Amino acid sequence: MTHAAKAGKLFDMGYNCSQSVAAAFSEEMGMDVESVCAMTAGFGGGVGRLREVCGALCGMTFVVGKLTSTGKPGDEEKAKMYEFVQQLAADFKRANGSIVCRELLGLDDAAPISATPEARTAEYYKKRPCRDIVEIAADILSKALKERNII
């Protein structure tokens, strides 16, 4: 199964955008799905449902950090990792039109912010671009990681 298909399936199971993208790469990160989903749970809804940076891009960033960084202060690879994240963000924006959750959902700046997730109904899936976006994000990330011989 492709990473994109895994991400879509995870989203259909009720995981948020960030969890869905990151957990699609759990095997490559040497982590279990539950741990990845716990660590990325707060990034959903554009970070805590603030509708800012899309959770799918946050999930991509999580995977890149885990696969390319030592996480230690003074990591000399940090600039390369930041460059990689910036390239992924540009690719994501090119594919989706924005990296901002609110814009991807077609909401205006005055849209109310709520901490309560919406029920995952058939209507929810019909009106939201999120499932497509997590699949696109996972595909972009998979191709980029393969091009760099990381996976």
Structural domain boundaries in the chain: 3-147
- β-strand partners of 53: 100
- Angle between helix 78-96 and 55-68 (nearest 10): 150
Torsional class of 105: left (φ above 0), alpha (ψ -120 to 50), beta (otherwise): alpha
pLDDT at residue 11 is higher than 90: yes
pLDDT band at 74 (very low <50, low <70, confident <90, very high): confident
Cα–Cα distance measured from residue 56 to residue 92, given in angstroms and rounded to the nearest whole number: 9
The DSSP symbol for 42 reads G
- The yes-or-no verdict on residue 89 having pLDDT over 90 is yes
For residue 15, the model assigns a pLDDT of: 98
User: Would the pLDDT of 75 be above 80?
Assistant: no
